[in-house]
Amino acid sequence: YLSSRPEGTYALAAYRESTRLANCGQQGWLMDLAIVARVVNLGVQLEDLCGLTADGIHGLQSRLRICVSASLTEALERSKKTYLLRDRREPQRNSPSRRESMCLRHYLRVKTVAHRRALTRIIFGCRLLAVE
> For residue 21, what are the contacts with CB-CB under 8 A and spacing of at least 6?
27, 28, 30, 31
Phi, psi (rounded to 5 degrees) for 9? -85, 155
Give pLDDT tens digits for 91-128: 888 989 888 777 777 777 889 999 888 888 887 777 66
The answer to whether 64 and 52 have CB atoms below 8 angstroms apart is no
Q: Output helix, strand, coil percentages for the chain, rounded to the nearest 5.
A: 55, 5, 40
Give yes or no for residue 42 having a pLDDT over 80: no
Enter the pTM of the model: 0.59
Q: What's the mean pLDDT in 53-60?
A: 75
d(CA 59, CA 63): 6
Q: pLDDT averaged over the chain?
A: 80
Give yes or no for residue 131 having a pLDDT over 60: no
Distances (CA, A) of 105 to 89, 91, 101, 114, 115: 10, 9, 10, 16, 14
Lowest pLDDT segment from 7-16, 32-41, 52-61, 114-123: 52-61
